[in-house]
Structures are given as C-alpha cells and as structure tokens.
C-alpha cells in the first residue's frame, strides 16, 4: 500500500493545529480529510473508513477519548488505528487513560513533523501486518472447518457404506444358510432365491456406483457416443421401474412432446441417468403418490423432467443435492437407504454430454422436480449409422447348432454358476479351472467362443490369450474370445483388447447379459 493510497482523518477543533498536522501528512504523500467535532469524526469514520485517525482529546461536543472508545468498540471500525493528541492533557496519567479507552498511541503537542510522520508510518505498517495476520487466521480457520467437514462427511460415508454393504450381505448369508440346512417349502425357496438376487443386485449397483465415482475423480470416466433416440431410452428406464412403482401403488406417467428427439450420446449412460432419477422419485414418494415424466424439445435442446409428489428437498440442502457423498439425512435413523452417489453421477454424465441438470423443490413434503437438458443431435449426427442393437435376452434366438463355449474360470462357485447359466441358455459348454488346462483342451476341441477370467493363479488371462493368439487358426489362434473379469476399469478393458480379447465384460454380470455378449460377439465375427 503506497502513501497516496492511504486516507487519514484529522479531527481537531483548533484550525491552526489541525492545519499543521494536515500539511505534514500531505507532504508525506497521504490523503487527509478534516473535521472539528467528535460527532463529525464518528460519522466520517463510518462513511469513509479511513486507514488511520488523528483525534484531539479536547473537542467542543465530546471528549476525544469517547470518540476513540466508540471507534474501537464498533465491530466495523474497531481495527482502525487511532492516534490521540493533546496540547493540554500531557501527563502520564492522561496517557494511561487514553490507552485505556483504546488509543494506539498518545502524543502531546507541539509535535515535530518527523515525529508525526514516523508514528503514522509505523502504525500503518503494524495495521497492515495485523490485517494480514487476521486474514491468514481466517483462511486457516476456514481450511480447518473445511477439513473437519470433509472428515465428518468421510466418516458418515464410511458408516453408510458399511451399512449398505452389510445389509444385503446379511440377507444373502441368511437365506443361503437356510437353503443349505432346510427344510424349506417351495414358497420359501422361491422367496429365498428372489431375496438373494435382489440383495446381490443391490451390492452390484453399489459397487458400480463406487467405481463410477472413482473414474470421475481420476478423470477416466468416458462415453461411447452414438446417435440415439432419447424417448426409447427413457421408456426402457420407466418400464424397468414399473413393477417397483406398482408395489408402492405409485402411478408413473410419461408425456412425450418430442417422440423422435435424438441426441449424440452414450445410451447406457443416459439410461443410467434416467434410471437414477426415476428410482429416486419412486423411493422418496410415499404409497399412493405419482411420478410424472415429460420430454419435450426447447429450441435446440431436449428437456426431460421427472416430477414426484414425494418428501421434497429442504431449501438449505438444494445447493448440495448433486454433490458426492452428500445426503439430506445421514443419521442412523434415516428412513431411506443409499450412498448419495447417484445424483453426483447423473450430473457428471449429463455435463459430459454437453447438457445440464437441475433440481427444484418447494420444501418438505412438497415433492421435487429434476430437469435434464441435452443438446439435440445435428442433422449430420442424425444421419450417422447407428450401432447394432444388443440382442434382448427374452427374444434372443440361439443359432443351430448351438454355440460351443470354452469357459476358463478358477473360482469353483463362479465356474459352476456361469456354466449352469450358459448350459440353460442352450450353449455347448466345456469348463476348465485354469489357463494351462484350457490350452491343453484346445489341442483336441475347438470352441466358437472362449470366455475367460483374467485374475487366475499360475497363468493369468492376459498371458493365456497371448499364447492362444500365437497359435495357428486350426489350433484356436483365431477363436473369438471374451474376457469376463472383476478388473473393471477402462484401462483394464483396453488392456484386455490389446492382449487379444475382442470384448471385455466387468463382473458382476447377469447370465442374460453374458448370453447376449457371446451371441453378439459370435455374430459380429462370423
């Protein structure tokens, strides 16, 4: 701060004395304003916020000591340095009294110009240092508060994660124990298998959400863009939740003012967005309520709104509704499960598509509205050839003769359940427990598709496929290969393909999805 940027208030009722001090300060490069009463001084301090105040003790309307006290007691002006000056009250007792009232220093007239200039310079330097320390302290307190909040959020998240993982695991272990020890009647067995499947799907979704958040944080979240029809994706998401809604006596309505609207997007990720928004609406809407979905074009954009008659969102939580790990209720007595990840993923996916998402609610028990806005595909994008549709499991017709599949899986439980699912779907399946045995079997039997795990003892799936691709075609070197693995990152998929696999599927995967993947891979390579 240079001298000519500093404003000083000089309060003295004696014109000659006031003029002398003002002249010294202005010659030193300071800006100076003057007044002659205590009332004027208090008003000007509030209005002008000077960097320093010179105040005579003896003023016509009040004591300069009271002026100083009121300046220092004011939360707005309390940090402004005050120099108390007197030509009458010059004893040490007067000095002590002035300092008691809050003065930073007490000077007596007559003043040497150099003395006044030096005192002002020192006090201004001290004030700047003190202001810097206050700012540093404020920053430190803010950083500490932010760190404490982050720690609290982390602790709440870990506690919630433990609960969300243990609850379905308890269901799975409990029913599995009863199925093993029995006896259960057919109705109980049906409920057991349904409960185990629901719990496993819940855990799989939680794991996938955690992986998505990890990809977002590390910048590895990617989209596979193509020309897609938004209405079809939205309808699929709604259909997938109709049974759940009916179980709660909820009505889901869909109004489409733009049935053929298309965007350049990732269909799987957009379906994930719509499913998250709709599942939240269903979860937070009491029985007998409704969820209204509307899609329309607004200029060059497609707008999708999901409105529910549920519990609503508190106004103070609305700004944080799309933040990771944030939940309106994270206590142990909360009524709704979840990790607070879904909406954060929604926002990231929509922003990667060049769109935006917003939330609105009038408050508790007033429902909520989420609005997704996506840019429509240009005419050039709309004419691009769409990727081939995935074969739906319910309508998939397997070719004849059946596809021959070699399953390579070291985990006995995973091997058994996967083989059972493929056999039930109509494949001709051979199963081996490791890569070495697979290579031995390929000497005498040639499959149409190899389905292999990656993480296996002795020889992993990467080394296995490299050795397989080194063989001539008649010994399996050109066979279609699909990696099914718990190594689920984008870098894992890229490594699998570069090693020799034509497709990569992350675990957990449903039997229907695996059937579709094998059929599609076989048809694509034929």
3-state secondary structure at position 261: coil
Q: Which one-letter DSSP state was computed for residue 487?
A: -
Structure tokens given for 407: 């399953």
Q: Which of 164-173, 265-274, 459-468 has the lowest mean pLDDT?
A: 164-173
Q: What is the CA radius of gyration of the chain?
A: 37
- Do residue 244 and residue 370 come from a single domain? yes
pLDDT attached to residue 345: 86
Q: Per-residue pLDDT averaged across 135-153, rounded?
A: 82
Q: Which of 89-93, 190-194, 401-405, 517-521 has the lowest mean pLDDT?
A: 89-93
Cα dihedral 435, 436, 439, 441, rounded to 10, equals: -100
> CATH number of the domain that 185 lies in?
1.10.287.130
On whether residue 140 sits in a domain, the answer given is: no
Q: Has residue 166 got a pLDDT over 90?
A: no
pLDDT attached to residue 160: 65
- Do residue 235 and residue 366 come from a single domain? yes
Q: Has residue 212 got a pLDDT over 80?
A: no
Q: How far apart are CA 429 and CA 413, in angstroms?
A: 16
- CA distances, 104 to each of 10, 48, 156 (Å): 15, 20, 49
Q: Report the number of distinct structural domains present in the chain.
A: 4
For residue 422, the enclosing domain spans 398-525
- Do residue 367 and residue 504 come from a single domain? no
Higher-confidence residue of 95 and 126: namely 126
- Do residue 188 and residue 67 come from a single domain? no
> Phi and psi (nearest 5°) for 353?
-85, 5
Neighbours of 236 (CB within 10 A): 14
385-427 residue pLDDT tens: 333 333 333 334 455 578 999 999 988 888 888 888 898 888 9
- Highest mean pLDDT among 21-25, 99-103, 218-222, 334-338 belongs to 21-25
Query: Residue 368: which of 415, 421, 317, 413 has the closest Cα?
Result: 317
> Phi and psi (nearest 5°) for 517?
-65, -40
pLDDT attached to residue 25: 92
pLDDT attached to residue 400: 57
- CA distances, 433 to each of 274, 292, 408, 459, 506 (Å): 40, 50, 6, 11, 19
512-522 residue pLDDT tens: 888 888 988 88
195-210 residue pLDDT tens: 888 888 778 777 777 7
Q: In DSSP terms, which residues pair with 293 in a beta bridge?
A: 254, 306
pLDDT attached to residue 306: 95
Determine contact, residues 245/291, Cβ cutoff 8 Å.
Answer: yes
Per the document, the length of the chain is 526
Q: Per-residue pLDDT averaged across 146-165, rounded?
A: 73
Q: pLDDT tier at 326 (50, 70, 90 boundaries)?
A: low
pLDDT attached to residue 389: 36
> CATH number of the domain that 296 lies in?
3.30.565.10
Q: Which of 156-170, 219-233, 246-260, 431-445 has the lowest mean pLDDT?
A: 156-170
Please, is 254 exposed, middle or buried when counting C-beta atoms within 10 Å of its C-beta (0-12, 13-18, 19+)?
A: middle
Higher-confidence residue of 156 and 25: namely 25
Structural domain ending residue among the three candidates 169, 198, 218: 218
On whether residue 169 sits in a domain, the answer given is: yes
- Do residue 263 and residue 370 come from a single domain? yes
Query: Residue 266: which of 345, 202, 359 has the closest Cα?
Result: 345
Q: Per-residue pLDDT averaged across 321-327, rounded?
A: 72
Q: Has residue 336 got a pLDDT over 70?
A: no
Q: Has residue 344 got a pLDDT over 90?
A: no
pLDDT attached to residue 374: 93
Q: Per-residue pLDDT averaged across 2-18, rounded?
A: 84
Rounded to the nearest integer, the mean pLDDT of the chain is: 84
On whether residue 122 sits in a domain, the answer given is: no
On whether residue 194 sits in a domain, the answer given is: yes
- Do residue 192 and residue 93 come from a single domain? no
- Do residue 176 and residue 299 come from a single domain? no
Q: What whole-number percentage of the chain has pLDDT above 70? A: 89
Q: Per-residue pLDDT averaged across 142-159, rounded?
A: 76
On whether residue 132 sits in a domain, the answer given is: no
Q: How far apart are CA 517 and CA 418, in angstroms?
A: 13
Q: How far apart are CA 392 and CA 74, in angstroms?
A: 74
b/e for 446-476, b at 16 or more Cβ within 10 A?
A: ebbbbbbbbebeebbbbebbebbeeeeeeeb
pLDDT attached to residue 329: 47
Structural domain ending residue among the three candidates 167, 200, 218: 218
Q: Has residue 332 got a pLDDT over 50?
A: no
- Do residue 236 and residue 302 come from a single domain? yes
Residue with tokens 């939330």: 359
- Do residue 279 and residue 167 come from a single domain? no
Q: pLDDT tier at 339 (50, 70, 90 boundaries)?
A: low
Q: Which distant-in-sequence residues (6+ apart) come within 8 Å of 62 by Cβ?
A: 37, 38, 39
- Do residue 233 and residue 375 come from a single domain? yes
Neighbours of 303 (CB within 10 A): 18
- Do residue 373 and residue 402 come from a single domain? no
Q: Has residue 477 got a pLDDT over 60?
A: yes
Structural domain ending residue among the three candidates 356, 382, 408: 382
Q: Has residue 331 got a pLDDT over 50?
A: no
Q: pLDDT tier at 42 (50, 70, 90 boundaries)?
A: very high
Query: Residue 310: which of 328, 326, 296, 324 has the closest Cα?
Result: 328
Query: Residue 293: which of 234, 344, 232, 360 has the closest Cα?
Result: 234
Please, is 383 exposed, middle or buried when counting C-beta atoms within 10 Å of its C-beta (0-12, 13-18, 19+)?
A: exposed
Q: What is the DSSP string of 38-79?
A: HHHHHHHHHHH--SEEEEESB-SSSBHHHHHHHHHHSTTTTT
- Do residue 237 and residue 370 come from a single domain? yes
Q: Has residue 32 got a pLDDT over 90?
A: yes
On whether residue 250 sits in a domain, the answer given is: yes
b/e for 154-183, b at 16 or more Cβ within 10 A?
A: eebbeebeeebeeebeebbeebeeeeeeee
289-301 residue pLDDT tens: 999 999 998 888 9
What long-range pairs does 385-391 form, CB within 8 A, spacing at least 24?
386/226, 386/227, 386/228, 387/226, 388/520, 388/524, 390/516, 390/520, 391/516, 391/519, 391/520
């Amino acid at each position: 701060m240079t001298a000519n940027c500093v404003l000083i208030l000089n309060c003295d009722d004696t014109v000659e004395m006031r003029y002398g001090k003002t002249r010294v300060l202005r010659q030193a490069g300071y800006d100076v304003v003057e007044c002659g009463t205590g009332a004027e001084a208090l008003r000007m301090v509030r209005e002008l916020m000077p960097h320093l105040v010179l105040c005579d003790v003896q003023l016509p309307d009040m004591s300069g000591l009271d002026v100083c006290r009121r300046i220092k007691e004011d939360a707005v002006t309390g940090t402004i340095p005050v120099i108390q000056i007197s030509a009458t009250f010059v004893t040490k007792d007067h000095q002590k009294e002035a300092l008691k009232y809050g003065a930073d220093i007490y000077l007596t007239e007559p003043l040497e110009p150099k003395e006044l200039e030096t005192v002002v310079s020192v006090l201004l330097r001290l004030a700047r240092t003190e202001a810097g320390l206050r700012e540093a302290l404020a920053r430190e307190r803010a950083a500490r508060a932010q760190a404490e909040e982050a720690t609290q959020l982390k602790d709440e998240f870990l506690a919630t994660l433990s609960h969300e993982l243990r609850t379905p695991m308890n269901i799975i272990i409990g029913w599995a124990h009863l199925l093993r020890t029995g006896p259960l009647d057919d109705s109980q067995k049906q409920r057991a298998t349904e409960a185990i499947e629901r719990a496993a799907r819940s855990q799989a979704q939680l794991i996938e959400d955690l992986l998505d958040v990890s990809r977002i944080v590390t910048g590895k979240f990617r989209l596979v863009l193509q020309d897609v029809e938004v209405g079809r994706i939205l309808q699929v998401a709604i259909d997938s939740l109709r049974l759940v809604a009916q179980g709660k006596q909820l009505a889901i309505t869909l109004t489409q003012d733009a049935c053929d609207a298309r965007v350049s997007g990732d269909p799987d990720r957009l379906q994930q967005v719509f499913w998250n928004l709709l599942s939240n609406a269903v979860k937070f809407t009491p029985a007998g309520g409704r969820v209204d979905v509307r899609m329309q074009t607004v200029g060059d954009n497609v707008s999708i709104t999901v409105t529910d008659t549920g519990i609503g969102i508190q106004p103070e939580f609305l700004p944080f509704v799309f933040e990771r790990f944030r939940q309106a209720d994270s206590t142990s007595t909360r009524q709704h499960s979840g990790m607070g990840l879904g909406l954060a993923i929604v926002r990231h996916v929509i922003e990667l598509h060049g769109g935006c998402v917003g939330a609105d609610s009038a408050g508790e028990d007033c429902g909520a509205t989420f609005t997704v806005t996506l840019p429509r595909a240009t005419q050039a994008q709309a004419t691009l050839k769409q990727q081939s549709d995935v074969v739906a499991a319910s309508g998939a017709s397997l070719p004849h003769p059946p596809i021959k599949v070699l399953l390579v899986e070291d985990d006995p439980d995973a091997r058994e359940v996967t083989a059972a699912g493929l056999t039930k779907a109509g494949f001709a399946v051979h199963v081996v427990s490791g890569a070495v045995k697979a290579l031995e079997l390929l000497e005498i039997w040639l499959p149409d598709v190899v389905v292999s795990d990656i993480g296996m003892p002795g020889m992993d799936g990467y080394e296995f496929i490299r050795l397989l691709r080194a063989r001539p075609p008649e010994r399996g070197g050109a066979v279609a290969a699909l990696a099914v693995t718990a190594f689920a990152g984008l870098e894992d998929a890229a490594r699998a393909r570069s090693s020799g696999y034509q497709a990569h599927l992350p675990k957990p995967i449903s039997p229907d999805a695996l059937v579709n993947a094998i059929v599609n891979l076989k048809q694509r390579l034929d």
